[in-house]
Amino acid sequence: MSLKAFHLIFVTLLTALSFGCAAWAFQSGSVLWGATGIAAGIFVIVYGIYFLKKLKNVSYL
Amino acid sequence: MEIPYTVQNRPDTGIYNAKLGIWLFLASEVMLFGGLFSAYILLRVGAEPGMWPHGWLNVTLGTVNTLLLALSAITTLLAWAACKVRDFTKFKIFHACTILLALTFLGIKSYEYHDKLIHYEIALANGKFADGHLVEKSADFDLAKKTGTVTLHGHIVEDRKELMDLRSPEAQAAKHDEITIAATDIKKMENYGPKHNTFTAIYFTLTGLHALHILGGTVVIFYFWAFGGAMWKTDPERFTNRIEVSGLFWHFVDLVWIFLFPVLYLT
């Protein structure tokens, strides 16, 4: 597995963490932190698409 | 003697040798951290009701550290991508960022440790508990000889259980002041170090081991950053592979933190 593939796993888990933190923040009553978590999650998804496009010629192996 | 398969893929494995080596090493690391995570789960489910701490760690600092490691994973990938397109200047810039981010992470972690080590819980002779950060100890303070006084910035509670959930409305509403306690009134005094309870023990073990990995990774990345120029000139492809291998290790360490952060800081 190349660094590209591992980075993809990392980005996926980071997205899950961002949305998870947002859910935790909303449950704790902090709307601002919750909204920040959702924004971070969306940002990470956008970054993930950008990085996949940028490294499209690099192998996953 | 030339070392085989440092650049070319080995026919039987389909990858170059260093990549196979780092994946075998990371497999052993998964077992190491997996064992400690299992220990955490067992300690937590085995804790007496109401005796597992909540809200003891600073979520803001933990979030900042998560952000720093996420950014460092990106700069590591970009450093490798720069090597792939043969741009050594960009590689130097991105890996300098990785090193700075890692050192900032370690600085924040050290601050968090220091905060725990100056935080004391004092069992008082009257059965109550004083809890807070150390302000000062008088010059003649000696717990064994029962002389002098200690001053904390904190509060006094009736029951130790009140100190467990710092997110509870009661804990949030508690007023913190400077409290001076005479050594004669102290039954037991202990900081929030690893031996305080099972939570602090597993917290220091997990995060300490993780911080050691960050430190080790930083040393390796710094070595490539500072002394990699020579190999870059003679064998850029092999150097690029080394950056990929160090990047795989770095991503693993970042991935461990992605699990550590919610488990320790948010639950």
pLDDT digits (tens, 9 = 90+) for A3-60: 999 999 999 999 999 999 999 999 999 999 999 999 999 999 999 999 999 999 898 9
Q: Is residue B261 over pLDDT 90?
A: yes
- From residue B250, alpha-carbon distances to A26, B225, B231, B245 in Å are 31, 15, 21, 9
Chain B residue closest to A16 (CA)?
B258
* Dist CA B222 CA B218 (whole Å): 6
Asked whether the predicted pLDDT for residue A61 surpasses 90, the reply is: no
pLDDT at B53: 95
- For residue A29, is it left (φ>0), alpha (ψ between -120 and 50) or beta? left
For β-strands B119-124 and B177-182, DSSP reports them as unpaired
Instruction: Determine the average pLDDT of the residues in B155-181.
Output: 93
| CA gyration radius, chain B | 24
Q: Tokens standing for B181?
A: 């306690």
pLDDT tens readout for residues B229-260? 999 999 999 999 999 999 999 999 999 999 99
Residues 121-150 of B with CB under 8 A from A: none
* Contact call for A3 and B247, based on CB within 8 A: yes
Please give the pLDDT value at position B217: 98
The 10s digit of each residue's pLDDT in B115-139 is: 999 999 999 999 999 999 999 999 9
Q: Tell me, what's the pLDDT at B2?
A: 82
pLDDT value of residue B3 = 86
Q: What amino acid is encoded at A58 in this protein?
A: V
Contact present, B165 and B199 (Cβ < 8 Å): no
Is residue B68 within 8 A of residue B253, CB to CB? The reply is no
Confidence of residue B13 (pLDDT cuts 50, 70, 90): very high
pLDDT confidence tier of residue B1, bands split at 50, 70 and 90: confident
Tokens 């810039």 map to which residue?
B93
- What's the rounded mean pLDDT across residues B165-177? 91
| Contact state of B266 with A21 under an 8 Å Cβ cutoff | yes
Residue B25: the pLDDT is 98
Nearest to residue B261, comparing CAs of B60, B64, B62?
A: B62
* Residues of chain B positioned with their CB less than 8 A from the CB of A47: 74
Whether the CB of A12 is below 8 Å from some CB of chain B: the reply is: no
Domain spanning B29-116+197-266, CATH architecture: Up-down Bundle (1.20)
Predicted-complex ipTM score: 0.95
Give me the residues of A, 17-36, that contact B with CB < 8 A.
Answer: 17, 20-21, 24, 28
Q: Could you tell me the residue ranges of all domains in chain B? A: 29-116+197-266, 119-191
- Nearest CB partner across the interface for B258, out of A3, A17, A51: A17
User: Which CATH number applies to B119-191: 1.10.357, 2.30.30, 2.60.40, 3.40.30?
Assistant: 2.30.30
- Return the CA Rg of chain A: 14
Asked if A13 and B255 come within 8 Å (Cβ–Cβ), the reply is yes
B81:A13 CB<8 A: no
Strand pairing partners for B119? B133
B29-116+197-266 against B119-191: fold identical = no
Question: Could you tell me the pLDDT band of residue B267, with boundaries at 50, 70 and 90?
Answer: confident
β-partners of residue B151 are B136, B180
